[in-house]
Amino acid sequence: MDSRLLKKNQDFKDLKDTYVIFICQHDKFKENKLIYHVDKIIRETGKEFDDGAHIIYVNGKYRGEDDFGKLAHDFNCKKADNIYFKPLADGVRHFRETEEGRDAMCESFTKLADKVADERAEQTTINNIKLMMKNMKCSLEDALNALEIKGKERAIIAKQLQK
């Protein structure tokens, strides 16, 4: 929980509830339920502890005859013709069976791959600067200069290292 979300003199109960939802490919608790809500209990008293933090597990193997069972089925379908819900089937058909859809997916994955590569490169640079500062006993400025890091990249890396 990030306490920076609170203003001065604001109470913790004013924070919005948080949800962590795990969508599993399997039935985590093997009870054939669609959803499992995990609640907190105070062991010593047996009383529920409601701090606004919620954990939910979704069973991807659930296959009930209700809408949720059909939706779980649809999420596992590879062919649009086997999907119950038309909007989802139309989306799958578009992205899998049309050139425009496949191009859009390729572009999205390329952007994601580029973003991950950039983040990894930045982290590598940050680690290298830390090593230079430690092993060569140089300042942040000296390390940035030695690696010829300038402009916006310099500001971003300097900010990261000053946290």
138 within a domain of the structure (yes/no): no
Confidence bin at 78 (pLDDT 50/70/90): confident
SS3 4: helix
Q: What is the dihedral of CA 69, 73, 76, 81, to 10 degrees?
A: -150
Range of the domain at 12: 1-62
Instruction: Look at strands 35-38 and 18-24 and give their pairing.
Output: unpaired
CB 95 within 8 A of CB 109: no
Share of the chain above pLDDT 70, in %: 97
- pLDDT value at residue 10: 79
Q: Measure the CA–CA gap between 22 and 54, rounded to whole angstroms.
A: 11
Q: How many domains does the chain have?
A: 1
145 within a domain of the structure (yes/no): no
SS3 content of the chain, % helix, strand, coil (to 5): 50, 10, 35
43 within a domain of the structure (yes/no): yes
Mean pLDDT of 109-129: 93
Share of the chain above pLDDT 90, in %: 66
Helix (H) or strand (E) holding 155: helix 151-161
CB 124 within 8 A of CB 110: no
Considering only CA atoms, which of 64, 57, 53 is closest in space to residue 29?
57
- pLDDT value at residue 68: 87
Strand partners, 20: 55
139 within a domain of the structure (yes/no): no
The pTM (predicted TM-score) of the whole model is 0.51
- pLDDT value at residue 85: 94
- 2-38 residue pLDDT tens: 556 677 787 777 778 889 999 998 999 999 899 999 9
111 within a domain of the structure (yes/no): no
- 129-146 residue pLDDT tens: 999 999 999 999 999 999
> Average pLDDT over the chain, rounded to whole?
90
